[in-house]
Amino acid sequence: MNKIGLIIRREYMTRVRKKSFIIMTILGPVLMAALFIVPVWLAMNEEDEANILVIDDSFLFNERMTDTDKIHFHFPSDRIGLDSAKRQMIASENFDAVLYIHEKIMTSTAGIQLVYDKQPGINVIRYIENTLENDIEKWKLAKSGIDQATIEAAKTSVSLVTTKLDEVGSESKSNTELSMVIGMFSGILIYMFIFLYGVQVMRGVIEEKTSRIIEVIISSVKPFELMMGKIIGIALVGLTQFLLWTILSATLISGSKALVEQHFATEDPTTSIEQAMSTAQTLAPESEEAVAAELNQAAIEDIFANIEMINFPLILFSFLFYFLGGYLIYSALFAAVGSAVDNEADTQQFMLPITIPIIFSFVMAQVVINNPESPMSFWLSMIPFTSPIIMMVRIPFGVPAWELALSMLLLVIGFVATTWLAGRIYRTGILMYGKKISYKELWKWLRYH
């Protein structure tokens, strides 16, 4: 086995066998899922019960405001004024707030008040506002002679079928939302990968330097071989982890999907997911429910059609390319930083110029995603330091082949150049001890022969 192979093997094996790697590999997908589920779950459970006493001087809403699971409306049996309602709220534990609706509500919505002794959540306020708005709108429409059925019939939903027409004239349908999700997701993954594993490269270099084993090793192999061996070894660790995560997530998702379907099946065999989705329209008459279900069916088929339209082999290939390219270009810099310092605490000053382009591309990704074909998007997807994240965001929207090829070529050139520069800093830095290194010093190292 040649020497660089030995180094790669050591870097890979020592990391893959670590307990922390095994734990992270198992916990990763669970944590990722938790990242999405927990906030939603918390938001659902955090919501407090709200008991609202309604003083309705307009007599329009009496008993007409529908309660939810958490929000309850109470209408006093006797007519009481606002002041006595307030006193009642403070005196009794039963009410959290008083909603006051004045009699001129149909002409002016100003002056509707909510007085509380316990701050109601934003959801409570929004729900009250929506209910009032909807009801008032309906009455106003009814007053001008439009009945409920007409309103329902007039409700329309438009979802554009966007089609990209390229120079050759062939059409390809695209789905902007799906492209956004795919683009953003791969961008985030690359961003995380660069940081997680780039820092590991840096730590590895510092470890070799502080343990002083470095001098023994570079009396057997060239410093550049050691640096590349480390970078490649850790890249393989990252790919392994990514692969395991994918497999685990897929198992987890298909497992939970099966569980959900089973759950629905036992609970009510007639309830399909489509029908569950249309419960929001339960107010609609029977016949329309069927129509709605059909529409949903069509929408789901549309989504699947869109998924099929996305060029997955291309996305997967580019993802792997930019995943590795982005990591390689930055990890060389991380290695150079590690070599220039004596311990991790000293890395701060050199980390900044490295982290800024990564964070910048991550921030810009959110701009690019809204306008994937702008000149700025183009240039950011060409510069090797931003292209791994930005190009990945653009690809699901469709990128001309020459742009992709140019960006990839530039990334390879950028990688070679960065690694060459980093290697020069590295081979001097690893033998420097007890010296506070400045940028001026690094510049000198670059010029040593």
Partner 1 sequence: MSEPIFRAENVSKAYAGHVAIENISVTVPEGSIFGLLGPNGAGKTTFIRIINQITGPDTGTLWFNNEKLDQKHLQYIGYLPEERGLYKKMKVGEQALYLCQLKGLSKKDALQRLKYWFEKFEIQSWWNKRVEELSKGMAQKVQFIVTILHQPKLLILDEPFSGFDPINTNLIKSEILELKKNGTTIIFSTHNMGSVEELCDHIALINNAKVILDGEVSEVRNRFRTNTFDIDFKGSLMELSSSLGTYGELIERTSDQEKLGATVRLVNGATTNQLLGNMMRSVEVTGFTEVIPSMNDIFIEAVERYNRENLAV
Q: Which residues bind partner 1 (CB under 8 A)?
A: 1, 3, 6-7, 10, 14, 207-208, 211-223, 431, 444, 449
Write down the least CB distance from residue 308 to partner 1, Å: 48
Q: Which is nearer to partner 1, 99 or 218 (CB)?
A: 218
* Greatest distance between any 2 Cα atoms in the chain: 95
Q: Which is nearer to partner 1, 8 or 292 (CB)?
A: 8
Question: Who's near 68: CB < 8 A, 6+ residues apart?
Answer: 127
The candidate with the shortest Cα–Cα distance to 209, out of 437, 448, 446, is 437
Q: Which is nearer to partner 1, 187 or 204 (CB)?
A: 204
Write down the least CB distance from residue 213 to partner 1, Å: 5
- Residue 113's H or E segment, with its range, is strand 113-116
229 strand-pairing partners: none
Q: 426 with 410: CB under 8 angstroms?
A: no
Write down the least CB distance from residue 207 to partner 1, Å: 7
Q: Which is nearer to partner 1, 187 or 233 (CB)?
A: 233
Question: Who's near 175: CB < 8 A, 6+ residues apart?
Answer: 162, 303, 306, 309, 310
Write down the least CB distance from residue 354 to partner 1, Å: 25
Residue showing tokens 């554009």: 160
The candidate with the shortest Cα–Cα distance to 368, out of 180, 189, 191, is 180
Write down the least CB distance from residue 21 to partner 1, Å: 13
The candidate with the shortest Cα–Cα distance to 215, out of 206, 223, 225, 227, is 223
Write down the least CB distance from residue 11 to partner 1, Å: 11
Q: Which is nearer to partner 1, 14 or 297 (CB)?
A: 14
Q: Which is nearer to partner 1, 237 or 328 (CB)?
A: 237
Q: 394 with 375: CB under 8 angstroms?
A: no
Distance of CA 104 to the CA centre of its chain: 46
